[in-house]
Amino acid sequence: MTDRRRSVAAAADGFMRAFTVDDLIAAARAHSPGIGVATVYRAVASMEDAGALERVGSRDGSALYVRCSVEEHHHHLVCTACGAVAHTPCPLGAPASDAAHEGFVVTSHQVTLYGLCAACATTGPEGG
Amino acid sequence: MTDRRRSVAAAADGFMRAFTVDDLIAAARAHSPGIGVATVYRAVASMEDAGALERVGSRDGSALYVRCSVEEHHHHLVCTACGAVAHTPCPLGAPASDAAHEGFVVTSHQVTLYGLCAACATTGPEGG
DNA sequence: TCCAAAATGAGAATCATTATCACAAGTAGA
DNA sequence: TCTACTTGTGATAATGATTCTCATTTTGGA
Ligand SMILES: [Mn+2]
Ligand SMILES: [Mn+2]
Ligand SMILES: [Zn+2]
Ligand SMILES: [Zn+2]
């Protein structure tokens, strides 16, 4: 774990919302001014591999990520208005046992729920 | 509905697997030799809006789509070995009622299961 | 300390997707 | 038929996120 990687991880920790790699670069530069984009992209890739980061879609052609500190397998609720993220348990009881598709071996799956967080649903966008 | 749009739709119908826009362009040119990439991208966008196409991830930086003739809300099983696609009913009973996240109003969600289709699981990749 | 392996960053390259824009085709009304 | 207007098309340029290159540090262990 290098100094740069620590900066990126800390920057990711700072977000309460979904963020882009650009967001991450800007945040990481607060503590590591000279950090390069390639380094951040590399850190993102390794954090994604490690499960510390998960991609939850994209916005204007940029990938959107959320920080996951939870170890167990889980999924996400992403507010499309303010970007707030909640981590939610996996709702799929036994996806591999779907009788209609016998023989299909599920190795991974991705569930993302989009909508409005409580704050945005009540006070409107930018309200949270 | 123009001649070009019809060609793209027909090309999409021809795929039994997930496909990229490039795949679609090549297939559409079989019947509309001069069709341009912009036109295909525009057709893809409108079919996606109409629910006739759904994006199910990406491969090497290119978006992957599947053709959906089913009208009802559903999701997909995508074979990561051969690209085979199965359409599967929505496994989420009442996603909006998750007690742990009261207040979050779910407006859309995306569920994709990746794995191996029966053929690939038994005979190995390229076996299906 | 010494060294091989891994990480870094500036910049170039890639390349999927979009934007432009001039033109073709249809449409509706006069 | 003429005209005005809208829509679709396609060649091409532009965009921009991500990846690659490569010379230069940095790291962590012996
Ligand atoms: Mn999470
Ligand atoms: Mn479908
Ligand atoms: Zn569903
Ligand atoms: Zn398969």
Tens-place pLDDT, residues B50-90: 989 999 888 889 999 999 988 887 877 788 777 778 787 77
Distances (CA, A) of A82 to A78, A92, A126, A127: 9, 27, 6, 8
Residue type, B16: M
CATH topology of domain A72-128: Dna Ligase; domain 1 (3.30.1490)
Burial A21-41 (b: 16+ CB within 10 A, else e): bebbbebbeeebeebeeebbe
Distances (CA, A) of A21 to A67, A80, B58, B98, B113: 12, 18, 18, 30, 26
pLDDT in tens, A6-30: 999 999 999 998 999 999 999 999 9
How many angstroms is it from B110 CA to the middle of ligand 3?
7
Cβ of A116 and B105 within 8 Å?
yes
Domain spans of chain A?
1-69, 72-128
DSSP tag of B21: H
Q: Which residues of A touch B98 (CB under 8 A)?
A: 77, 88, 91
- Do A106 and A97 meet the contact criterion of CB atoms below 8 Å apart? no
* DSSP states along B22-66: HHHHHHHHHHSTT--HHHHHHHHHHHHHHTSEEEEEEETTEEEEE
What contacts B36, CB < 8 A, 6 or more positions away?
A: none
Report how far residue B102's alpha carbon sits from residue A122's, in angstroms, rounded to the nearest whole number: 12
Beta strands in chain A (DSSP E): 53-59, 62-67, 74-79, 85-89, 105-116
Spell out which chain A residues touch chain B, with contact meaning CB-CB distance below 8 angstroms: 57, 77, 79-80, 86, 88-89, 91-93, 95-96, 98, 100-118, 121-122
Q: A49 to chain B, minimum CA–CA distance in Å?
A: 16
CATH number of A1-69, picked from 3.40.50.880, 3.40.50.410, 1.20.120.160, 1.10.10.10: 1.10.10.10
Tell me, rounded to whole angstroms, the distance of Cα A29 from its chain centroid: 20
Dihedral sign for Cα B110, B114, B119, B125, please.
positive
Q: What is the pLDDT along chain A (128 residues), one digit of tens a residue?
A: 899 999 999 999 999 989 999 999 999 999 999 999 999 999 999 999 998 998 988 888 999 999 998 888 787 778 877 777 878 777 665 544 454 455 666 666 666 666 666 777 777 554 44
For chain B, the average pLDDT equals 81
